[in-house]
Chains A and B, each alone.
Chain A
Amino acid sequence: MSENAAAHDAPTSTGIDHKKLIMWLFLASDCMFFGTLISTHLLYRKLYPAGFTDAEGHQRFIQNLFNIELTSFSTFILLMSSFLMALAVSAMHKGQIKSFRRNVLGVIFFGLIFLGCQVFEFTHFYHQGLTIQNSVLGSTFYVLTGTHGTHVAIGVLWLILMYFYSFTGKLGGHVGALDVEVAGLYWHFVDIVWIIIFTAVYLVEYLGPNGFWGTGLPAVTK
């Protein structure tokens, strides 16, 4: 946001706009960020495939907890929001501010649906007995998906502010299109992180009869 006003006039050494370059650098850094979070979750799935123990003391397997229909629905919603975001960026490039507003409103709406699904999922899991305190699985699952959710929430806030800003008439031209494109990059990144989470955290739990990690106690030979 703090672009040197003259900078877009002067061509850059690489021909890439500063804002676009810094956003890609941020996303590169975020790869390591989500890499750490996802690998923490997978590591503990690898070490403790048995799931968690709920408040009544019952051993619960993760396959019985997850609701694949709900997650598939929210995955689909997020993918489509990414599509609308691409259209919003395209509209800004063509200078069609009305089309931009329509599409970005769709992105915001889908983003809110995704967050709603996540709130519902968290509440549901909590009532099923999975808490952040009662198991490592709870800690890694809630913190991983919660951090992703926070990214989505920041993106929604960003796009809402941009939507209202467009009514001031100041969002336009090359700078306006670039600002929207940069917000779009962020949004798509949140989407691709979810593509990975959907496969690595959700789908693999359904492989075979007991999921990829199995359900048995840790294979300890003592």
Chain B
Amino acid sequence: MSHDSHHAPVASKLELAPERSDLGLLRPDRTTGWSDWLTTVDHKKIGILYGAFAMFYFLVGGVEALAIRTQLIRPDNDFVTARMYNQLFTMHGTTMIFLGVMPLSAAFFNFLVPLQIGARDVAFPRLNAFSLWTFVFGAFVLNASWLFEFGHLAGWFNNFEWHKNLVYTDFAPANGWFSYAPLSGTFGQADASLHAPRFTGVGTDFWIIGIQVLGIASLAASFNFICTIINMRAKGMTMMRLPVFTWMTLVTAILIILAFPAITVALIELMFDRAFGANFFNPSAGGQPILWQHLFWIFGHPEVYILVLPAMGIVSEILPTFSGKSLFGYPIIVFSGAVIGFLGFAVWSHHMFTTGLGPVPTAAFSLLTMAIAVPTGVKIFNWLGTIWGGRVRFTPPMVLSLGFIWMFMCGGFSGVMHSSAPADAQQQDSYFVIAHFHYVLLGGVLLGLMAGLYFWFPKIFGRMPNATVAYIASGMVILGFNLAFGPMHYLGLAGQPRRTHTYHAGFGWETWNFVATIGAYILGLGVFISFVNLVWTAFKGKKCASDPWDGRTLEWSLPSPVPEYNFAQAPVIAARDAFFEDKHGGKRIGFENDGGEAGVHMPSQSWMPLLASAGFLFAGFGMPMMAMGVPHAGWIVITGLGVLIVGIWLWALEGPGGYMLKTPAVAGSPAPTETAAH
């Protein structure tokens, strides 16, 4: 059988003889350039692609944020219309959460987890590629709503019959990132064509299908990563020797698989309301819009921890490295991370205090929310304990990590204020909330992720980012961020409501809105400079050694950039911080004698994950176009589902394949006799 007749080990995949899959199609193993990146199953390349897309969408979301701040720079501004403002804040939130932070975290999961656990790949390499491309297409569908919106504003669709029949002509989502029903839903009775009247245009349909597809991508990736972490650890890599980043990846992935189904079902229900006239959230027929809020936050609150835990994991790697000490209280940090994750499922209703839950639920959710501050505080103290008495090196990643602790604490303090329901009733829907979650998500997550980028870039590309530029950019980010969001605490308590496209003069909000906008521009410029520095580094940066930071975990023991097979010989781990112990302590990293003379088995590349994901592209465009009333758009959806099924089917039938790669350890040994072949 073909997948047993491995080629003799080769030094580079380009030397492979052409191999056909079980389907008789040529495997794209020997490709370079574009087709190599499109068919790759290498977790490192997939990680780089995730990172590249995430950084692009960070900039997109950043431009949206700056447009919002420009609109608010002075009272009664008309930089954008009210409708465009709604679309901007909706897409800003959605983009930053689902297309910025989550994929950038996924980039780290992909690149680091197999390296940190001493594995050569993830458990399901092709499923990993499927997750990536599904994310890419979902992101594209979501953002294509802008293209339709601009096409509409430019009048491209005016001559079409379907366009003349539209009641609402907003093409980009404008409901906020949570799309609360009934605004996002329907009212009244469905007509003969099964359509009930709606409050919004097809932007909401773009949002529904976009988030649905992105959810599938996250779920597939999370199954894969839990499986990888539980099942593919190197010998001796016990659970309590896992690097903290890997631990936080595991907790995050568990949160994703348990939290996303709630939003998946909620989106299905909302889609049925809009497309088929169902009544899940239709108030005219007894549907309870409040149910949408519950289902959304059953997903939405764990989502907050899905965003922040990877950043906490990154910081837990960086602080010990640059303090020259092992992480203080490793088991407690891991345990706290898990507790934060699981308490996250028990507090969803604190987003809904003002809906009137009744005294008992309000008190219960209030208490549980306060309880989350405990493990979070434990983490902060452990990080401080790590730095305490260490020989601290203020490298760019360390500066950003210290910024993380400080800023995240500020966000945590205002978070505890929200947990008190009476206080929350005053702060709800005001800029105070904006200030709170931007301190957590920007001061926390963004600084953490940027620290991670600066920390691991030398490992990913073998090149060192320019430190001077990095310091300047980091300073601008931290300064601009505090300038932008610090004043919002005051603005919120002074009564400025969120999601309102303008404000009148005379409420005392002018000065601080002006300051916030200036801060936002400094912040945006800082992030931009930082990203330019990183992209430049990836291509042109100064080459550096494989272990420039005196790293602690296994990935630093590998050459930079990391070879395709990761580990020439499978490592055997004897301690936590295995590589640091290997360098400075008594416990060496051992190596398994795993039949290395036959080379390392590499999974074959494949077009099928890309093909299957492409089905979501068709379905994603078809659904909103059906809602627009474009004739025959239903066929696009059916084509999409067909492509998805055919893609998965061919994927199953092509066989896993694989080839053998020579490693330095065995490069000189003779090729084995082909006993298994033919």
Instruction: Decide if A and B touch, CB cutoff 8 A.
Output: yes
Q: A22-B124, A22-B223, A36-B295 are in contact. Are A13 and B231 (CB under 8 A)?
A: yes
Q: Which among A1, A3, A14, A143 is the interface contact of B272 at CB below 8 angstroms?
A: A143
Whether B652 and A139, one on each chain, are in contact in the complex, defined by CB atoms closer than 8 angstroms, is: no
Is B359's CB within 8 Å of the partner chain A? no
Q: Which among A12, A132, A133, A170 is the interface contact of B231 at CB below 8 angstroms?
A: A12
Interface string of A23-65 (1 = CB under 8 A from B): 0011011101101110010011001100000000000000000
Is B501's CB within 8 Å of the partner chain A? no
Q: A33-B265, A36-B261, A139-B280 are in contact. Are A25 and B227 (CB under 8 A)?
A: yes
A30→B261 CA distance, assembly (Å): 7
Whether B291 and A43, one on each chain, are in contact in the complex, defined by CB atoms closer than 8 angstroms, is: yes
Which of B165-173, B281-289, B490-498, B531-539 forms part of the interface with chain A? B281-289
Query: Distance (Å) between the CB of B638 and the closest chain A CB?
Result: 15
Given contacts A1-B126, A6-B601, A43-B291, 15 further A-B contacts (CB under 8 A): A2-B127, A2-B651, A4-B121, A13-B237, A16-B231, A22-B223, A25-B257, A35-B261, A36-B265, A40-B291, A47-B288, A133-B277, A133-B279, A143-B268, A143-B269
Whether B258 and A12, one on each chain, are in contact in the complex, defined by CB atoms closer than 8 angstroms, is: no
Q: Which residues of A are at the interface with B, using a C-beta cutoff of 8 A? A: 1-7, 10, 12-14, 16, 18, 21-22, 25-26, 28-30, 32-33, 35-37, 40, 43-44, 47-48, 132-136, 138-140, 143, 147, 161, 165, 170
Interface string of B1-34 (1 = CB under 8 A from A): 1010000000000000000001000000000000
Q: What 8 pairs across the A-B complex have the smallest Cβ distances?
A: A2-B126, A33-B261, A139-B278, A6-B601, A32-B261, A36-B265, A29-B257, A12-B231
Whether A6 and B295, one on each chain, are in contact in the complex, defined by CB atoms closer than 8 angstroms, is: no
Could you write out 9 A-B pairs with CB less than 8 Å apart?
A1-B126, A2-B609, A3-B656, A13-B231, A14-B231, A16-B231, A25-B226, A29-B258, A32-B262
Q: Which of B230-273 contact A (CB under 8 A)?
A: 230-233, 237, 257-262, 264-266, 268-269, 272-273
A69→B656 CA distance, assembly (Å): 47
A7→B124 CA distance, assembly (Å): 10
Is B657's CB within 8 Å of the partner chain A? yes
Interface contact tally, CB-CB below 8 A: 144
Contacts of A40 in B (CB 8 A): 265, 269, 280, 291, 295
A133→B277 CA distance, assembly (Å): 5
Whether B223 and A25, one on each chain, are in contact in the complex, defined by CB atoms closer than 8 angstroms, is: yes
Interface string of B199-240 (1 = CB under 8 A from A): 000000000000000000001000110110011110001000
Contacts of B226 in A (CB 8 A): 21-22, 25
Q: Which among A5, A30, A143 is the interface contact of B278 at CB below 8 angstroms?
A: A143
Contacts of A14 in B (CB 8 A): 230-231
Q: A14-B230, A22-B224 are in contact. Are A138 and B279 (CB under 8 A)?
A: yes
Q: A2-B125, A4-B125, A22-B227 are in contact. Are A33 and B264 (CB under 8 A)?
A: yes
Contacts of B609 in A (CB 8 A): 2
A94→B233 CA distance, assembly (Å): 31
Whether B22 and A6, one on each chain, are in contact in the complex, defined by CB atoms closer than 8 angstroms, is: no
Q: Which among A6, A21, A161 is the interface contact of B658 at CB below 8 angstroms?
A: A6
Whether B227 and A18, one on each chain, are in contact in the complex, defined by CB atoms closer than 8 angstroms, is: yes
Contacts of B157 in A (CB 8 A): none
Q: A22-B123, A133-B276, A135-B285 are in contact. Are A28 and B231 (CB under 8 A)?
A: no
Q: Which among A134, A138, A161 is the interface contact of B649 at CB below 8 angstroms?
A: A161
Query: Distance (Å) between the CB of A191 and the closest chain B CB?
Result: 19
A134→B121 CA distance, assembly (Å): 52
Contacts of A6 in B (CB 8 A): 601, 658
Q: Which of B621-678 contact A (CB under 8 A)?
A: 648-649, 651-653, 655-658
A114→B653 CA distance, assembly (Å): 28
Contacts of A47 in B (CB 8 A): 286, 288
Is B603's CB within 8 Å of the partner chain A? yes
B interface residues, how many (CB within 8 angstroms): 62
Contacts of B266 in A (CB 8 A): 36
Contacts of B384 in A (CB 8 A): none
Whether B278 and A132, one on each chain, are in contact in the complex, defined by CB atoms closer than 8 angstroms, is: yes
Whether A132 and B272, one on each chain, are in contact in the complex, defined by CB atoms closer than 8 angstroms, is: yes
Is B190's CB within 8 Å of the partner chain A? yes
Query: Distance (Å) between the CB of A196 and the closest chain B CB?
Result: 15
A161→B650 CA distance, assembly (Å): 11
A166→B655 CA distance, assembly (Å): 14
Contacts of B224 in A (CB 8 A): 22
Is B467's CB within 8 Å of the partner chain A? no
Contacts of A1 in B (CB 8 A): 126, 648, 651-652
Is B189's CB within 8 Å of the partner chain A? yes
Query: Distance (Å) between the CB of B408 and the closest chain A CB?
Result: 28
Contacts of A28 in B (CB 8 A): 257-258
Contacts of A10 in B (CB 8 A): 594
A12→B229 CA distance, assembly (Å): 10
Query: Distance (Å) between the CB of B192 and the closest chain A CB?
Result: 10
Contacts of B277 in A (CB 8 A): 132-133
Q: Which among A4, A33, A138 is the interface contact of B603 at CB below 8 angstroms?
A: A4
Contacts of B272 in A (CB 8 A): 132, 139, 143
Cβ-closest chain A residue relative to B652 = A1
Q: A36-B295, A47-B288, A143-B272 are in contact. Are A136 and B257 (CB under 8 A)?
A: no
Q: Which among B127, B259, B279, B652 is the interface contact of A136 at CB below 8 angstroms?
A: B279
Is B374's CB within 8 Å of the partner chain A? no
Query: Distance (Å) between the CB of A17 and the closest chain B CB?
Result: 8
Whether B231 and A21, one on each chain, are in contact in the complex, defined by CB atoms closer than 8 angstroms, is: yes
Whether B227 and A136, one on each chain, are in contact in the complex, defined by CB atoms closer than 8 angstroms, is: no
Contacts of A37 in B (CB 8 A): 265
Is B153's CB within 8 Å of the partner chain A? no
Is B472's CB within 8 Å of the partner chain A? no
Is B194's CB within 8 Å of the partner chain A? yes
A161→B645 CA distance, assembly (Å): 12
Query: Distance (Å) between the CB of A156 and the closest chain B CB?
Result: 13
Whether B278 and A133, one on each chain, are in contact in the complex, defined by CB atoms closer than 8 angstroms, is: yes
Whether B261 and A133, one on each chain, are in contact in the complex, defined by CB atoms closer than 8 angstroms, is: no
Cβ-closest chain A residue relative to B257 = A29
A18→B279 CA distance, assembly (Å): 41
Cβ-closest chain A residue relative to B1 = A170
Cβ-closest chain A residue relative to B239 = A13
Cβ-closest chain A residue relative to B195 = A133
A13→B570 CA distance, assembly (Å): 13
Q: Which of B96-113 contact A (CB under 8 A)?
A: none
Contacts of A44 in B (CB 8 A): 286, 288
A48→B286 CA distance, assembly (Å): 8
Whether B601 and A13, one on each chain, are in contact in the complex, defined by CB atoms closer than 8 angstroms, is: no
Query: Distance (Å) between the CB of B253 and the closest chain A CB?
Result: 9
A165→B295 CA distance, assembly (Å): 41
A170→B1 CA distance, assembly (Å): 9
Q: Which among B22, B237, B295 is the interface contact of A170 at CB below 8 angstroms?
A: B22
A134→B196 CA distance, assembly (Å): 11
A143→B280 CA distance, assembly (Å): 10
Chain B CB within 10 Å — which of A4, A21, A44, A136 has the most?
Answer: A4
Q: Which among A134, A140, A147 is the interface contact of B280 at CB below 8 angstroms?
A: A140
Whether A4 and B124, one on each chain, are in contact in the complex, defined by CB atoms closer than 8 angstroms, is: yes
Q: Which among A5, A12, A26, A135 is the interface contact of B656 at CB below 8 angstroms?
A: A5
A14→B239 CA distance, assembly (Å): 11
A79→B231 CA distance, assembly (Å): 32
Whether B269 and A5, one on each chain, are in contact in the complex, defined by CB atoms closer than 8 angstroms, is: no
Contacts of B262 in A (CB 8 A): 32, 36
A143→B196 CA distance, assembly (Å): 17
Q: Which of B563-595 contact A (CB under 8 A)?
A: 594
